[in-house]
Amino acid sequence: MPRSTSPGRAPDAATSNESTDSTRRRIVAAATEEFARHGIAGARVDRIAKQARTSKERVYAYFRSKEALYAHVAQRETAALVEATQLDPADLPGYAGILFDHFTARPDHYRLITWGRLELAEATDNTAGPLQATIAGKLDKLRDAQRIGLLDPAWDPVDVLALINQITMTWAGQPEIAAVAADQAVDPSITARRAAVVTAVERLFPRPDRDQRPSRLV
């Protein structure tokens, strides 16, 4: 059951500074691991508190509920994803490779976000606005690329983004096939899986010739 917050503290305020608040930082780190492993329903605040070397009461002093804690963690992880995976509309295969690298290095991020999609499908949380704004920005870049001839205008930019995301997360979302690939793929290396993803996107959305690329999209 959610606890009330301590006097004078706004637990989810944007002004909270995790870089100087070591207890809050430990709680967020422990929660990130807990949610990625167990989902929202399966996560336990007592385990988060133990891992963070604090008390359940202290966790609830920072975050009014387990769901609020998840929303904070998801927003933080989404911001990190956006920062690490900038879209270059003149190099969509390269963008696919960047996404693949991120989810290969951070399988916990994929699991954490997937849990939220499954368990909070009907909910509005703190990640919706920023994430939708990021998607809208990427769609604008794709439309600009179409306008100046870098991307086939026959494609709907929404489909372009959805297809690239799905292709790049193929292996993150199918660990059972990844396990089989380790034994049965012609080349079982992660390099080969990455090359397949980049090639698939390249065939759908080829890179323009270098002399077609402007120094920047306007």
How high is the pLDDT of residue 212? 55
How high is the pLDDT of residue 197? 97
Sign of the torsion formed by the C-alpha atoms of 21, 106, 42 and 124:
positive
Does residue 159 have a pLDDT over 60?
yes
How high is the pLDDT of residue 201? 98
Read off the tokens for 30. 């422990």
Does residue 48 have a pLDDT over 50?
yes
Backbone angles phi, psi at 86, to 5 degrees: -70, 140
Nearest alpha-carbon partner for 33 in 69, 80, 86, 79: 69
Give the distance, in angstroms, between the CA of residue 56 and the centroid of all CA atoms in the same chain.
Answer: 27
Nearest alpha-carbon partner for 48 in 18, 71, 25: 25
Task: State which amino acid sits at residue 158.
Answer: V
Q: Find the largest Cα–Cα distance for the chain.
A: 62
Does residue 8 have a pLDDT over 80?
no
Nearest alpha-carbon partner for 169 in 109, 87, 209, 82: 109
What does the pLDDT average to over 89-116?
Answer: 91
How high is the pLDDT of residue 12? 42
Contact 165, 139 (CB under 8 A): no
In the chain, % of residues over pLDDT 90: 57
Nearest alpha-carbon partner for 38 in 114, 102, 94: 114
Buried b (16+ CB within 10 A) or exposed e, 162-188: ebbeebbbbbbeeeeebeebeeeeeee
What does the pLDDT average to over 178-186?
Answer: 90
How high is the pLDDT of residue 147? 96
How high is the pLDDT of residue 215? 53
Nearest alpha-carbon partner for 110 in 166, 36, 164: 36
| Rounded Cα gap, residues 75 and 69, in angstroms | 10
